[in-house]
């Protein structure tokens, strides 16, 4: 897959080029700041990124300040996960722009199903047509609320 890049008027950039990703920044955010991946090992983040369609969000000088990962077969299904914009860059419409870029990507068109899980960003995702499951009785899961060790408290948020 050839990397795709999108440039905003203020020179923020979204790129699918895996070589541009700053794995250190992504891992630090997920392991230390996120509620869904507390204490996630670096090797797990690296493996997840290697097997996903990734979107890095960069400042005009090339610093990674946001990220979104899509687990997909690029034909019928996509699971959006690990979405974040660093706190210093929030409130500038970057998360909304990142979502527009993700869902306009050529390899994510014509999908039968798009899913995500969120504790606190329903308002953002509803703007992109996400709704509660239409038939939750059809979905099953195997859930491991504390997969990354003792440092992560098992809660309904994980």
Spatial distance between the Cα atoms of 47 and 24, rounded to a whole number of angstroms: 14
Contact 63, 56 (CB under 8 A): no
pLDDT tens for the chain, 158 residues: list them.
Answer: 789 999 999 999 999 999 999 999 999 999 999 999 999 999 999 999 999 999 999 999 999 999 999 999 999 999 999 999 999 999 999 999 999 999 999 999 999 999 999 999 999 999 999 999 999 999 999 988 878 975 544 444 43
Domain boundaries, the chain: 5-138
pTM beyond 0.85: yes
Spatial distance between the Cα atoms of 148 and 39, rounded to a whole number of angstroms: 6
CA dist list (Å): 51 to 10, 16, 44, 73: 31, 13, 11, 10
Q: Which has the closest alpha carbon to 53: 81, 27, 85, 94? A: 81
CATH code of the region 5-138: 3.40.630.30
């Amino acid at each position: 897959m050839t990397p795709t890049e999108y440039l905003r008027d203020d020179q923020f950039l979204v790129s699918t080029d895996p070589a541009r990703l700053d794995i250190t920044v992504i891992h630090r955010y997920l392991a230390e700041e996120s509620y869904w991946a507390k204490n996630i090992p670096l090797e797990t983040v690296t493996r997840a990124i290697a097997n996903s369609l990734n979107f890095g969000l960069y400042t005009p000088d090339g610093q990674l300040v946001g990220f979104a990962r899509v687990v997909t077969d690029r034909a019928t299904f996509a699971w959006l996960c690990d979405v974040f914009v660093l706190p210093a860059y929030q409130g500038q419409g970057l998360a909304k722009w990142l979502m527009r870029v993700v869902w306009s990507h050529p390899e994510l068109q014509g999908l039968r199903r798009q899913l995500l899980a969120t504790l606190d960003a329903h308002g953002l995702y509803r703007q992109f047509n996400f709704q509660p499951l239409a038939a939750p009785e059809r979905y099953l899961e195997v859930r491991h609320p504390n997969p990354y060790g003792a440092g992560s408290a098992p809660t309904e948020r994980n």
